[in-house]
Structures are given as structure tokens and as C-alpha cells.
Structure 1
């Protein structure tokens, strides 16, 4: 990816794309990015997932630290929040490991949504993503 054109992650399929070509939507607290109209339309159709974005700078962020930050965010909403899926872009890892895509989404994300995942914590625009089930 060209360093002069900062990359962003599509909020639906997580594909990394240049910011200059991404479709975007201003939210109340952040800008959402999409690789194309298909992902944008899918995002519009799934309003039930609450999303929190965290930006961490000034120090290297390891997975374990990101996970603890995500848990703290989820548990501020629901003390019984349960982590059901995660994605680590730096390491190229995910859980659960579902290698097939479903309706233009990575398998781990489709799994989370299909199993009640309703609270997503996105750290550093897709560097780490954690999905929880909450009662709130």
C-alpha cells in the first residue's frame, strides 16, 4: 500500500483500502469507511451492532493490551459482556477461525453476528477488533 495515501479498513469486510478511494459516512463520533457500495448498503442494513472506536497512540499496542481495553469498554456497558470473536490485523489471526467469507464478511465476523454479537470494539481503525455479546 502506498504510504503517501493512508489506508483505512472497510467497516464491513475489513479490506484495507486507500482512504482516497474509500466511500465514507460521518457518524456521530467517527467516520465510517467502505470499500464499495455493496459493503455500504450492508452496513446500512445492520443497525443492531453498537460500535466503539478506540485510538491508541504513542506506544506500541500489543494484542493483549488491546484485548484488555476492549473488555473494559464492553464491561462498562455490561459487566457480564462475553467476548465471542476477535481479529488481529497485525498478526493476520482471528478467532474463531472461519476461513470462508459469508456475504462479503470474514467468517469470524459472520460467526459473531450470527451468535448474538452486538457490541464491537474497533481499535486503531481495524488493527484489532473485538466482538462481544451484551445484554444492554
Structure 2
């Protein structure tokens, strides 16, 4: 893994950028990347390795666990966290099926009720975007 460390660190940094663009702390993406590439870690290990505050690490782990991207296992008195790609696929599928697809259906059912041309175009664009997101999620899960 050492010979690939520069590439891995670049990918982990990009994961941080992505989570920041989603409105989360960049540490959230960085922590996920560390767990994915380097295996299970405790909160304390992540804090020390990344030179972050304990509260930042704790908040990021809470978010990642809530979304199903990591899982925690009690190891004595401490919790050990690891990346969980299988569960995260299920989370993405649920977001698609229970949020994005229903929104797309609602937009489609209301488009005919809207008379304003500009609003109609915005609804159509939003519906197409929802459908595109669903398509991308489906391809990712194949």
C-alpha cells in the first residue's frame, strides 16, 4: 500500500472535498477514506492520525454511521469503526426509491397543473435531474 500512498492520499483528499460540497465537514470524507483504505480505526486513532479535534472526529463518525457508510464494533472499552460499502449501497438505493423517485413522480403529476411556462420548464428540468440521479445510482449498484 505504501507505494500507492500518494494516489490514495489524493483520493482521500477528494473525498473530503466532495463531503464539503455536500455541506458536511471535509473531515467526514477524509475519515471515510482512511477507514476504507487503511481498515478499522478507533476514534482516538483517527484524531491522532489526522490531527483533528475529538469533537470533529466524533461528529464525522456519527454522520457516516447514520448514513450507513461505516459500522462500529465494540472492542473492549473502545469502538472500532470500519467502512461499510455494502450497507452504503442499500442507503443510496433507499434514498433513490423513497425520496428521489417519489419526488420525480410528484413533479410529473403536477406539471400539467402549472400554467406559467418558466415554472413548467423548471419542473421539467428538476424531474429530468431526479431521473438522471436515479439512473446513476442504479448503474453504481450494478
TM tier relative to shorter chain: under 0.3
TM-score scaled by length of structure 2: 0.23
More helix, by proportion: 2
More strand, by proportion: 1
Higher relative contact order (CA 8 A, sep 6+): 1
